[in-house]
Chain A
Amino acid sequence: MDQELHYEYNVEGGDFSRAGYASSQIKKILKRLNIDAGVIKRTVVACYEAEVNIVAHAYSGAVYFDIESNRLKIVFRDEGPGIEDIEMAMTEGFSTASEEVREMGFGAGMGLSNMKKNADQLNIESEVGRGTRVEIIINT
């Protein structure tokens, strides 16, 4: 990409009617840039998992999307309960999702491992009682 671009979106905790809005905007931007369809799918699936995690598990958050010369960087930062044991949270099947989240079709404990599968790099930092920062890197 010859142009570096930056976008930001807010994410509301608990608001399932809007969950996916940021990921949808990211998808539209990537499509306009004629990025390979497989790369777009990996990017937006990982983003959507991270976005739904803020809605499902945190209070509020923001998405920072950067298009760099040879990679995409998407950072999800939230204010929320944080993750006590990141390694355990990454285990497929581990979930603390509420009944309400499960009724929406989520809460199988597959999101973090699916993000890892789709991203070229996944970095998670979390502080219990404060919040979580998830960074997804996709090489283009």
Chain B
Amino acid sequence: MKVSDIVRILDGRLVCGDNRSDYTIDVAFASDLMSDVLTLVNDNVLLITGLANLQTIRTAEMSDINCIVFARNKKVSQEMVSLAEESGISLIECRYSVFRTCGLLYQAGVKPVY
């Protein structure tokens, strides 16, 4: 699944990052706990979270996560955008809850990590 597909399915807003056609998402992981995200070994993981701070972006940077969905209207700050752009990470804001976000993406074929 491409970044553009995720934006469409979630009726979300792509805050930064381009619709890279070379990059597809295989699996997704939903967590507000960055400690947990850092234990993932999969590649091309989509992160769904309600935690919007700089460490969310840093965690993605270290874990080679290229796309983050911020659920429940969590707003991305300008500092977060700058950091994400440095690492080529796409950020998507969406108004749905984490549960609904996960449900829609699961239905569309995105696989869980565990």
Using CB atoms and an 8 Å cutoff, list the residues of chain A in contact with chain B: 16-17, 19-20, 23-24, 27, 37, 41, 44-45, 47-49, 52, 104-111, 114, 117
Contact assessment for A105 and B55 in the assembled complex, using a CB-CB cutoff below 8 Å = yes
Contact assessment for B58 and A48 in the assembled complex, using a CB-CB cutoff below 8 Å = yes
CA distance A45 to B65 in the complex (A): 12
Using CB atoms and an 8 Å cutoff, list the residues of chain B in contact with chain A: 32-36, 38-39, 51, 53-56, 58-59, 61-64, 79
Q: A41-B63, A41-B64 are in contact. Are A110 and B35 (CB under 8 A)?
A: yes
Contact assessment for A106 and B54 in the assembled complex, using a CB-CB cutoff below 8 Å = no
Contact assessment for B34 and A106 in the assembled complex, using a CB-CB cutoff below 8 Å = yes
Contact assessment for B36 and A110 in the assembled complex, using a CB-CB cutoff below 8 Å = yes
CA distance A27 to B59 in the complex (A): 12
Contacts of B56 in A (CB 8 A): 105
Chain B residue nearest to A47 in the complex (CB): B62
Contact assessment for A20 and B62 in the assembled complex, using a CB-CB cutoff below 8 Å = yes
Contact assessment for B35 and A17 in the assembled complex, using a CB-CB cutoff below 8 Å = no
Chain A residue nearest to B35 in the complex (CB): A108
CA distance A78 to B34 in the complex (A): 22
Do most interface residues of chain B lie in helix, strand or loop, or is the interface mixed? helix
Chain B residue nearest to A55 in the complex (CB): B55
Contacts of A27 in B (CB 8 A): 61-62
Contact assessment for B53 and A19 in the assembled complex, using a CB-CB cutoff below 8 Å = no
Tally inter-chain residue pairs, CB-CB below 8 A. 67
Query: Looking at the complex, which one of A41, A106, A109, A114 makes contact with B55 (CB distance below 8 Å)?
Result: A106
CA distance A16 to B58 in the complex (A): 11
Contact assessment for B35 and A24 in the assembled complex, using a CB-CB cutoff below 8 Å = no
Contact assessment for B35 and A106 in the assembled complex, using a CB-CB cutoff below 8 Å = yes
Contact assessment for B62 and A107 in the assembled complex, using a CB-CB cutoff below 8 Å = no
CA distance A17 to B54 in the complex (A): 6
Contacts of A105 in B (CB 8 A): 32-35, 51, 53, 55-56, 59
Task: Supply 7 further A-B pairs (C-beta < 8 A) apart from A19-B58, A24-B58, A104-B55.
Answer: A16-B53, A16-B54, A41-B62, A48-B38, A105-B32, A106-B33, A107-B35
27 contacts between A and B (CB under 8 A): A16-B54, A17-B79, A19-B55, A20-B58, A24-B61, A24-B62, A27-B61, A41-B62, A45-B38, A45-B63, A47-B62, A48-B38, A48-B58, A48-B59, A48-B62, A49-B38, A104-B34, A105-B32, A105-B33, A105-B55, A105-B56, A108-B33, A108-B35, A109-B35, A110-B39, A111-B35, A111-B38
